[in-house]
Amino acid sequence: MASNFLSLTIPATLVLIGFGGYLLDDSISHSGPSQLAGVMGGASLLALGLIVLLPQVKFALRWMRAARNYHNRNL
């Protein structure tokens, strides 16, 4: 079950961060009446992507620490 969760969250995180960054870049570079909506939407998607990224980073750090401890064990 955890592998399914991770296989879905990694692409979702990349899509959220990428699309949020695109919306921010596009709305900041073009001024107009819809600039505020684009900035707010891009910032929201970017923040959501970063929030979803945090557990993945914690999992990766925990996995690397366990692998390092397993490698350095006394036989």
**How many Å apart are CA 22 and CA 17, to the nearest integer?**
8
Percentage with pLDDT > 90 across the chain: 36
Q: Which domain holds residue 57?
A: 2-71
Band of pLDDT at residue 39, cut at 50, 70 and 90: very high
Band of pLDDT at residue 31, cut at 50, 70 and 90: confident
* Tokens describing residue 32: 């107009």
Work out how many domains the chain is built from and give that number: 1
**How many Å apart are CA 62 and CA 75, to the nearest integer?**
22
pLDDT at 48: 94
Q: Counting Cβ atoms within 10 Å, is residue 16 exposed (0-12), middle (13-18) or buried (19+)?
A: buried
